[in-house]
Amino acid sequence: MPFLTAINHLLNFLAPALVVALLLVATSHVFMRKLAQPRGWLAPIALLFVVGCAVLALGVALLGSDGRMLTYTALVLVCASVRWVELRAWR
């Protein structure tokens, strides 16, 4: 596989993790202003992106292929849970 094709595949594999991270941080700044405001933007996006990449990699390892709905469901649930814990929203 040529190098540029491999990079394209890798970026397309990681794109859902980035989109979920961006959407979760943006919506938490809209709907949970008081909790999310002091935390900033960059660190939560980076944390959620890394967690999301780990979930996607685990999904490929366990299910054997990319793009399964179970993997995407786990991505959303795990990232949302990490953001909830990060914001200490249970208080």
- Calculate mean pLDDT across residues 6-27: 96
The pLDDT score that the predictor gives to residue 81 is: 96
Percent of the chain with pLDDT over 90: 71
Nearest to 63 by CA among 55, 52, 17: 55
pLDDT exceeds cutoff 90 at 25: yes
- Calculate mean pLDDT across residues 55-60: 96
Residue 19 — pLDDT band, cuts 50, 70, 90? very high
Nearest to 52 by CA among 28, 30, 83, 90: 83
Predicted TM-score of the model (pTM): 0.91
Q: What share of the chain is helix, strand, coil (3-state, %, to 5)?
A: 85, 0, 15
Give the C-alpha separation, 65 to 63, whole Å. 6
SS3 59: helix
- Calculate mean pLDDT across residues 36-46: 85
Q: Domains of the chain: which residue ranges? A: 3-87
